[in-house]
Chains A and B, each alone.
Chain A
Amino acid sequence: MNVLVCISQVPDTTAKIEFTDGNRAFDTTGISFVINPYDEFGLTRAIWLQERQGARITAVTVGDASVEPSLRKALALGADDAIRIDAEPRDSYQVANELAALVEAGKYDLVITGKESIDYNGGAVPGFLAAMLNWPFVNGCIQLEIEGRKASAQREIDGGREVVGFPLPAVIAGQKGLVEERDLKIPSMRGIVMARKKPLTVKEPLGTQAKTQAEGFERPASKSAVTLIDADRLDELIKCLHEEVKVI
């Protein structure tokens, strides 16, 4: 079983987000980058498939050379090889189209993505990819079992959750539940050393054009100072909820 894990490299969650170039670009000064948290769940689940069911894992990122540390980390955690598609990500359509070409040229049984990248929050690469490949798609995947060419999974839907079944090949977009927070590992020394010897291939992109364009950025409006209410005067809070917030 060949598993492709799609990784997006994002700012560390503690990062303060600032913009530059007349608010036309994200300011990466001083930002440290990490594997998208949703992709860590997916990668960890893939490693279980490798350990328990003999899967082979390829990690892939669409990006310039600055994303290679995240691919090296994926290799150190257990991926067998890594591919960087050498294109600057512009929108989810473009990224998915580049990934689809890679999948079509290879022999993958399962593509694992994250539900959303925490930088641009598109939540669209996985669905686009499945639609382009015409493969089954499970979004918001919170559990996955593979047996031969058959898979069963759980997914979050509006108003609840579902148990679903589908044949491979397929695309899933994972989130917490696929594995738990406590299952996430940091690379071992041995893993880091081995990662240096594992192949990281750079591929030329198709050169897909994006369909959307970022025009500008802003920071959300900041709040005015907090109104403190005495813990013994909660009637005042009720009054605010009624008169100002208007929820009661």
Chain B
Amino acid sequence: MNTVVFAETNSEGKFRKSAAESVSYAKHIAGMAGGRVVAVTFGASEPGDLSRYGADEIANLTDKELTRFSPEIWAQALSEAAQGEVHILPHSNDGASMAPFLALKRDAALVTGAIAYPSAVSPLRVKRNAFSGKGIMEVAVEGERAVLTVMPNSVGKKESGSQSEITEKSMHLDVPKVTVKSQELTQGKVDVKEANVVVSAGRGLKGPENWGMIEELSELLNGATACSKPVSDMGWRPHSEHVGQTGKTIAPDLYIAIGISGAIQHLAGVNGSKNIVVINSDPDAPFFQAADYGIVGDLFKVVPQLIAELKKYHIQNG
């Protein structure tokens, strides 16, 4: 049984964190069911970077058409580049968008949002996110073929240092049905779904002009910024930062919630975080019940102090 991985790159051709995670995931399946792990990537600058996560083969597709996202064309390329029973994709915007196209092409069952390694293969059984983080659902696949999207930050990456055969391929692809007229990329920023650390702020910040310290804190931790729903509804922050039941679901190693009360809809999208720090002036804020570490205090004092402490730490420890 071969496992094919979609290894996603960013606009500079560097692998996203999800690429290493997806290959590690496939390697785990290969460990359970045997077979090869084939990673397919589009225009990667350093395809060999994936060898150490256990890819037996890395197929780097160099077609120009693949530089722009198209769910149907990316699915076509992935399907034609390698044969396999199981396909692993990241549950990112692009991975989740193309997955149904791939599943239909491969006549495979689709499971989206996996949060753990499969408990069984052939037929595949795996746990996935449900009710926006309020539940976990175990799903079994009918048949041998499956396409699986895996939540970023859920199982992590694992080095298993094998050699890979690296090939460059190009193929004949269809014309995309949707044409891209322009792009606006958030260059140099850590993606909120992939970030190890997410610094998130809510209505307690009082206004958009106060986000400077949130961005500074997040940069010091090499993290991404997020916000509660009312904050994006009021236009203080872009919608792409809205996390929660009706926004993005995230699972970073560390989630810092500043001036967010912890409503059930907010918690749903972030309770998969490995560690939660809550900063709130109200000791009865519901978020403290979902937190690992809590600081009761005025955020306008606590956050600048935290920034100062972090800078001190960075200076002391290089």
**Which A residues are within 8 Å of any B CB, using their own CB?**
11, 13-14, 16-17, 19, 26, 37-38, 91-93, 96, 118-124, 126-128, 130-132, 135-140, 142, 152, 156-167, 170, 175-177, 180-182, 209-220, 223-224, 226-231, 234-235, 237-238, 240-242, 244-248
Contacts and interface: CB of A to CB of B under 8 A. Distances in A.
Contacts of A167: 177
A237 to B, nearest CB: 6
Contacts of A234: 295, 302, 305-306, 309
Given A128-B100, A212-B141, A226 B113 contact: no
A226 B184 contact: no
30 contacts: A13-B264, A14-B265, A93-B103, A124-B96, A126-B100, A127-B99, A130-B72, A136-B177, A138-B178, A139-B93, A142-B239, A157-B69, A158-B93, A160-B184, A161-B183, A163-B180, A164-B180, A166-B177, A170-B177, A176-B232, A180-B233, A216-B138, A220-B134, A234-B305, A234-B306, A245-B253, A245-B254, A245-B274, A247-B196, A247-B254
Contacts of B134: 16-17, 219-220
B290 A121 contact: no
The 3 A-B residue pairs with the shortest CB-CB distance in the complex, in nearest-first order: A127-B100, A231-B297, A211-B109
A241 B136 contact: no
Contacts of A229: 293-295
A123 B151 CA distance: 13
B264 to A, nearest CB: 6
Q: Majority SS of interface residues in chain A?
A: mixed
Contacts of A160: 183-186
Given A13-B246, A176-B232, A215-B125, A157 B131 contact: no
Contact of A92 (B94, B100, B184): B100
A121 B103 contact: no
A56 to B, nearest CB: 24
A170 B168 CA distance: 34
B36 interface: no
Given A137-B177, A213-B139, A237 B183 contact: no
A123 B91 CA distance: 10
B173 interface: no
Contacts of B309: 234-235, 237-238
B171 interface: no
Q: Majority SS of interface residues in chain B?
A: mixed
Contacts of B33: none
Interface residues of B, number: 98
Contacts of B274: 245
Contact of B185 (A128, A159, A177, A213): A159
B293 A226 contact: yes
B113 A159 contact: no
Given A176-B233, A219-B136, 17 more contacts: A14-B264, A118-B132, A127-B97, A131-B100, A137-B72, A158-B69, A161-B240, A176-B247, A211-B108, A214-B138, A215-B138, A224-B292, A226-B294, A230-B295, A240-B293, A241-B254, A248-B313
B141 A156 contact: no
A91 B265 CA distance: 24
